[in-house]
């Protein structure tokens, strides 16, 4: 799809359309740090390295968002178009320093930051707005209407706008826009004039004005308001980047962020105020660029209207306030409504928007017929109540969980056992799959202060605590930030700290992207038994820690619960007062299974014998206290009714999905549980000996049963 040329149809997801748009825009370099909902963008570009090399486009998988933002520095002097991507708001926080220093001198080549606005019902991070960064650093903020052709156009125009104004641009994509599917007519990709194939002869001449350093920063600040923002406004107006859909009524209107267009139209349809083709009763002013706003466009849309409603997701209501101030300056007295009728916080779904518009119209234009819409809204309430009644209780929450066989689960089982002996400890948690330990059955973690920040976040707690504090971090977090923010600081200050690094080999939570300590491709090829847990042969994390001066360092197999328990106890109680690091090593099971399954399918197809390990529970031995479940949380370890009619409590059972990670056996041993677990070997494509042995065993069992 990325190779499609002029006029050819491109079908796919929104985020992939953006990827194609970058190539159509002549981008010379791309980078970023993965995170939902924009992980695909970088993943696809990394996987398309060969094709991008043909175009001369450089791709960099950056170690964090700060390094991605700093990469845009290439556009300060050179006419190079560059794009980076990350998840916001968290990624923008990490990138903030570089963004300020980029926005101050401004850019020559267009600089585009594609941010995945992880806000609303499907979000996985704190709920804040990227908008504040656009305001404080004077960045352009594009919020395109979710339509593939429009999104592609906004990428292309975003670069041009960035160059016309010298301002870096952020293109904000909500979760729904990223995963929206559709089509557009492709254009040819544009190989950049200066690129990895066509190199620059010389660097730019020295220009102090291009540094973010006083005294030129004082001039930069003036340039922002006196030249750059006015230039941006001119470009936005001339190229009609914002859209007006007049509507059948000229007296009432809505001003909305571009990203809310589809939901708003859905809401208007439900209220009987729009048709399926986008024809609306009310006029719509769609802000595909939400910063800067163009005052004259606001004035022209609002002037003469009875009332206007501003749809602005999240808080504070920056856009609404600016519209109010703008109209005041123009002495236009159209009443403006917004957060009064719409909630301050939370995603603006179709239902939320419909309620807001209905209340707005009831207040400003009570003659508008809303009977059908009101009935639709009332039906939703009734349906929810009916579902609750039918279930007799609220739906149980279904929090995310470690994958079946995840190497991180045993570590938290061991930590549970260790705490039973040394006492509860303060646990500084982090971002990553291991944060699932904050849910049942572990419920561990006192704070999460950011990606790779756990060790740093315990610095203020440790000195005040009688027992040692434990910081938990993944290898993704370690390379992203933890190495410098936590380890360096703890060593420099001589802190008495314990760090547990979960080394699964990938940044698993964002889509198992590779990192410095990922098992090498050669190792994956060479491994005779593909089912084994592969590790980084170079011990990159361990050697880095040793080189930095860590003197207490242990590497423990994640699945060895008792060994892990003992090591944790030692770290929490030893007389050694410096930084203690435990590296829990076990390959991400998701990646492992991705490797194992095709290999196994091939083996079976060729008729090769394969032995698979599976765990099970002997019902007769199960005591029914379910402590194994409380220690594990594996989704395949479940309960079922006992077959013995005299037992009323359910017994534990292992469902089919078991990947035989061994945790059940390890837990039974480490926690001295009832001896109900058995380890079975499932033989596929058995040979003659296997069949003979199975026949013999079967006969023996039948004899014993009969006797």
**Site size for ligand SF4 (CB under 6 A):** 26
Using CA atoms, how far apart are residues 295 and 403, in angstroms rounded to an integer?
Answer: 51
Per CB under 6 A, 632 contacts ligand SF4 = yes
Residue closer to ligand SF4, measured from CB, 109 or 660: 660
Q: Three-class SS of residue 405?
A: coil
DSSP string, 132-147: HHHHHHT-EEE---S-
Residue closer to ligand SF4, measured from CB, 332 or 527: 527
Pairing of strands 637-640, 651-654: antiparallel
Q: At its nearest, how many Å lie between ligand SF4 and the CB of residue 682? A: 12
Burial class from Cβ neighbours inside 10 Å (0-12, 13-18, 19+) for residue 537 reads: exposed
60-94 burial, b at 16+ Cβ within 10 Å, e below that, comes to bbbebbbbbbbbbbbbbbbebbbbbbbbbbbbbbb
Q: Please say whether the beta carbons of 86 and 32 come within 8 A.
A: yes
Select from 367, 372, 336 the least CA-distant residue to 354: 372
- Phi and psi at residue 580, to the nearest 5°: -110, 130
List the beta bridge partners of residue 615.
679
Q: At its nearest, how many Å lie between ligand SF4 and the CB of residue 545? A: 21
Residue closer to ligand SF4, measured from CB, 387 or 682: 682
Measured in residues, the chain has a length of 707
Per CB under 6 A, 589 contacts ligand SF4 = yes
Residue closer to ligand SF4, measured from CB, 245 or 439: 439
Q: At its nearest, how many Å lie between ligand SF4 and the CB of residue 647? A: 21
Site for ligand SF4 in 603-622 (CB under 6 A): 615
Using CA atoms, how far apart are residues 41 and 7, in angstroms rounded to an integer?
Answer: 23
Using CA atoms, how far apart are residues 219 and 214, in angstroms rounded to an integer?
Answer: 9
Per CB under 6 A, 637 contacts ligand SF4 = yes
Residue closer to ligand SF4, measured from CB, 321 or 653: 653
Q: At its nearest, how many Å lie between ligand SF4 and the CB of residue 366? A: 54
Residue closer to ligand SF4, measured from CB, 573 or 684: 684
Q: At its nearest, how many Å lie between ligand SF4 and the CB of residue 445? A: 15
Tokens 């480490």, residue? 670
635-661 burial, b at 16+ Cβ within 10 Å, e below that, comes to ebbeeeebeeeeeeeebbbbeeebbbb
Using the contact rule CB under 6 A, the part of the chain among 231-239, 319-327, 631-639, 686-694 near ligand SF4 is: 631-639
DSSP string, 52-115: HHHHT-EEEE-SSHHHHHHHTTHHHHS---EEEEEEETHHHHHHHHHHHHHHTT--SS-EEEEE
Site for ligand SF4 in 213-242 (CB under 6 A): none
Q: At its nearest, how many Å lie between ligand SF4 and the CB of residue 657? A: 7
Site for ligand SF4 in 648-667 (CB under 6 A): 654, 658-664
Helix then strand then coil, in percent of the chain rounded to 5, is 45, 15, 40
DSSP string, 182-223: EEEE-------SSSSSS--SSPPPP-GGGSS-TTHHHHHHHH
Q: At its nearest, how many Å lie between ligand SF4 and the CB of residue 558? A: 10
Q: At its nearest, how many Å lie between ligand SF4 and the CB of residue 651? A: 14
Using the contact rule CB under 6 A, the part of the chain among 31-39, 247-255, 269-277, 396-404 near ligand SF4 is: 396-404
169-205 burial, b at 16+ Cβ within 10 Å, e below that, comes to bbbbbbbbbbbbebebebbebeebebbeeeeeeeeee
Residue closer to ligand SF4, measured from CB, 515 or 634: 634
Among 12, 405, 441, 486, binds ligand SF4 (CB under 6 A): 405
Per CB under 6 A, 636 contacts ligand SF4 = yes
Using CA atoms, how far apart are residues 592 and 611, in angstroms rounded to an integer?
Answer: 17
Q: At its nearest, how many Å lie between ligand SF4 and the CB of residue 640? A: 14
Residue closer to ligand SF4, measured from CB, 564 or 588: 588
Select from 526, 555, 530, 527 the least CA-distant residue to 540: 555
Residue closer to ligand SF4, measured from CB, 176 or 560: 560
Q: At its nearest, how many Å lie between ligand SF4 and the CB of residue 469? A: 24
Contacts of 177 (CB under 8 A, 6+ apart): 14, 144, 146, 151, 259
Burial class from Cβ neighbours inside 10 Å (0-12, 13-18, 19+) for residue 37 reads: buried
Residue closer to ligand SF4, measured from CB, 471 or 588: 588
Q: At its nearest, how many Å lie between ligand SF4 and the CB of residue 353? A: 35
Per CB under 6 A, 428 contacts ligand SF4 = no
Per CB under 6 A, 588 contacts ligand SF4 = yes
Question: Site mask, ligand SF4, residues 32-71, x = CB under 6 A?
Answer: ----------------------------------------
Q: At its nearest, how many Å lie between ligand SF4 and the CB of residue 653? A: 9
Per CB under 6 A, 437 contacts ligand SF4 = no
Using the contact rule CB under 6 A, the part of the chain among 206-214, 252-260, 629-637, 683-691 near ligand SF4 is: 629-637
In sign, the C-alpha dihedral spanning 569, 572, 578, 580 is positive
Residue closer to ligand SF4, measured from CB, 253 or 405: 405
Q: At its nearest, how many Å lie between ligand SF4 and the CB of residue 397? A: 18
Using CA atoms, how far apart are residues 549 and 360, in angstroms rounded to an integer?
Answer: 64
Q: At its nearest, how many Å lie between ligand SF4 and the CB of residue 536? A: 15
DSSP string, 618-657: -TTT--S--HHHHHH--TTEEEE--SSTT--S-EEEE-TT
Per CB under 6 A, 508 contacts ligand SF4 = yes
Per CB under 6 A, 590 contacts ligand SF4 = yes
- Phi and psi at residue 132, to the nearest 5°: -60, -35
Per CB under 6 A, 406 contacts ligand SF4 = yes
Residue 264 CA neighbour count, 13 Å, CB half: 29
Residue closer to ligand SF4, measured from CB, 286 or 658: 658
Using the contact rule CB under 6 A, the part of the chain among 122-130, 202-210, 412-420, 632-640 near ligand SF4 is: 632-640
Q: At its nearest, how many Å lie between ligand SF4 and the CB of residue 428? A: 19
Q: At its nearest, how many Å lie between ligand SF4 and the CB of residue 648? A: 24
Do you find a cis peptide bond into 549, omega within 30 degrees of 0?
A: no
Angstrom CA distances, 104 to 212, 260, 394, stand at: 6, 30, 52
Residue closer to ligand SF4, measured from CB, 127 or 540: 540
Per CB under 6 A, 403 contacts ligand SF4 = yes
Among 29, 360, 402, 412, binds ligand SF4 (CB under 6 A): 402
Q: At its nearest, how many Å lie between ligand SF4 and the CB of residue 485? A: 22
Residue closer to ligand SF4, measured from CB, 370 or 404: 404
Per CB under 6 A, 504 contacts ligand SF4 = yes
Select from 302, 309, 298 the least CA-distant residue to 363: 309
Q: Please say whether the beta carbons of 77 and 55 come within 8 A.
A: no
Question: Site mask, ligand SF4, residues 661-700, x = CB under 6 A?
Answer: xxxx------------------------------------
Residue 667 CA neighbour count, 13 Å, CB half: 26
Residue closer to ligand SF4, measured from CB, 198 or 640: 640
Positions in the binding site for ligand SF4 (CB under 6 A): 402-406, 408, 433, 504, 508-509, 588-590, 615, 632, 634, 636-637, 654, 658-664
């Amino acid at each position: 799809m990325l190779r499609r040329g002029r006029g050819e149809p491109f079908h796919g997801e929104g985020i992939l359309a953006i990827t194609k748009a970058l190539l159509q825009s002549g981008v010379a370099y791309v980078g970023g740090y993965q995170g939902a909902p924009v992980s695909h963008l970088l993943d696809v570009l990394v996987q398309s390295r060969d094709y991008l090399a043909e175009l001369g486009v450089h791709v960099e998988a950056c170690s964090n968002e700060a390094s991605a933002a700093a990469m845009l520095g290439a556009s300060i002097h050179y006419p190079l178009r560059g794009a980076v991507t990350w998840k916001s708001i968290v990624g923008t926080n990490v990138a903030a320093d570089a963004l300020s220093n980029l926005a101050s001198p401004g850019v020559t080549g267009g600089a585009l930051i594609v941010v995945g606005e992880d806000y609303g019902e499907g979000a996985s991070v704190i709920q804040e707005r990227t908008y504040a960064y656009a305001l404080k650093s004077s960045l352009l903020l594009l919020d395109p209407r979710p339509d593939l052709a429009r999104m592609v156009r906004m990428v292309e125009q975003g670069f041009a706008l960035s160059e016309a104004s010298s301002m870096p641009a952020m293109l904000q994509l909500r979760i729904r826009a990223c995963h929206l599917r559709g089509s557009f007519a492709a254009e040819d990709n544009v190989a950049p004039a200066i690129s990895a194939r066509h190199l620059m002869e010389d660097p730019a001449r020295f220009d102090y004005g291009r540094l973010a350093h006083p005294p030129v920063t004082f001039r930069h600040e003036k340039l922002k308001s006196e030249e750059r923002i006015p230039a941006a406004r001119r470009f936005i107006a001339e190229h009609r980047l914002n859209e007006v859909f007049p509507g059948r009524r000229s007296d009432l209107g809505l001003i909305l962020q571009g990203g809310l267009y589809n939901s708003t139209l859905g809401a208007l349809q439900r209220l009987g105020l729009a048709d399926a083709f986008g024809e609306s009763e009310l006029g719509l002013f769609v802000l595909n660029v939400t910063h800067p706003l163009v005052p004259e466009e606001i004035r022209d849309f609002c002037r003469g209207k009875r009332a206007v409603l501003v749809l602005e997701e999240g808080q504070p209501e920056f856009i609404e306030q600016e519209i109010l101030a703008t109209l005041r300056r123009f002495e236009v007295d159209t009443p403006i409504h917004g957060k009064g009728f719409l909630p301050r916080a939370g995603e603006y779904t179709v239902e939320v928007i419909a309620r807001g518009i209905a209340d707005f119209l009831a207040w400003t234009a009570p003659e508008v017929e809303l009977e059908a819409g009101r009935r639709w809204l009332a039906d939703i309430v009734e349906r929810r109540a009916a579902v609750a009644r039918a279930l007799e209780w609220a739906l149980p929450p279904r929090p995310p969980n470690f994958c079946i066989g995840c190497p991180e689960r045993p570590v938290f089982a061991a930590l549970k056992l260790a705490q039973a002996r040394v006492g509860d400890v303060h646990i500084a948690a982090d971002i990553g799959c291991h944060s699932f330990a904050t849910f049942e059955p572990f419920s561990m973690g006192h704070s999460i202060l950011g990606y790779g920040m756990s060790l740093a976040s315990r610095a203020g707690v440790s000195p005040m605590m009688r027992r040692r504090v434990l910081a938990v971090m993944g290898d993704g977090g370690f390379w992203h930030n933890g190495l410098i923010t936590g380890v360096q600081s703890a060593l420099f200050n001589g802190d008495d700290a314990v760090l547990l690094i979960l080394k699964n080999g990938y940044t698993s939570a964002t889509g198992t992207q590779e990192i410095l300590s990922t098992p090498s491709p050669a190792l994956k090829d060479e491994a005779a038994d593909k089912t084994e847990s592969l590790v980084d042969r170079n011990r990159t994390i361990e050697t880095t820690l040793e080189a930095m001066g860590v003197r207490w360092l242990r590497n423990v197999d994640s699945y060895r619960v008792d060994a892990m328990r003992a090591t944790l106890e030692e770290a929490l109680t030893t007389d050694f007062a410096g930084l203690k690091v435990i590296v829990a090593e076990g390959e991400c099971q998701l990646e492992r299974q991705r490797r194992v399954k095709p290999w196994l399918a091939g083996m079976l197809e060729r008729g090769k014998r394969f032995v698979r390990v599976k765990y099970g529970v002997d019902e007769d031995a199960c005591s029914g206290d379910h402590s194994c479940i409380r220690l594990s949380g594996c989704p395949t370890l479940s309960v079922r009714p006992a077959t013995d009619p005299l037992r009323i409590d359910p017994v534990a059972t292992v469902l089919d999905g078991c990947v035989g990670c061994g945790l059940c056996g390890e837990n039974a041993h480490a926690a001295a549980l009832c001896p109900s677990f058995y380890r079975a070997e499932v033989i596929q494509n058995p040979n003659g000996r296997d069949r003979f042995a199975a026949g013999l065993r079967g006969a023996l069992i039948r004899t014993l049963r009969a006797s």
